[in-house]
Amino acid sequence: MAIIWIALPSRFVSLAALALVSGMYTVRSQINDSVISLQKDVISAQSVIRGSTKELQEMEGKTLEAQSKLKVATDELNAKKGEYESLVNAIKAQPRRY
């Protein structure tokens, strides 16, 4: 009876050790899967950032171009406004004929 009693705990310990190793493998596998998934997410995010950076640079270029055109147009408008005001003042300075 003592032999059986000693054998059972030994078998139980072996099964427990096997279950522990199996459980560790499962946890390790899940961690590896999670790490791989995170790496894929990081790579995807980096691609989005690169694309967004390129688009942002293009928009900055277009904005600078638009600002330059606006400055030119504003300068032209101010010059025309000056000419208009000179003409109005010249007309006002002329005597009225009735």
pLDDT tens string 73-93: 999 999 999 999 999 999 888
Confidence at 2, pLDDT banded by 50, 70, 90: very low
Q: What pLDDT does residue 18 have?
A: 64
SS (H, E, C) the chain: CHHHHHHHHHHHHHHHHHHHHHHHHHHHHHHHHHHHHHHHHHHHHHHHHHHHHHHHHHHHHHHHHHHHHHHHHHHHHHHHHHHHHHHHHHHHHCCCCC
70, pLDDT greater than 50: yes
pTM summary value: 0.50
> What is the arithmetic mean of pLDDT over 13-19?
63
Q: Check residues 36 and 9 and name the one with the higher pLDDT.
A: 36
Q: Is the pLDDT of residue 8 over 50?
A: no
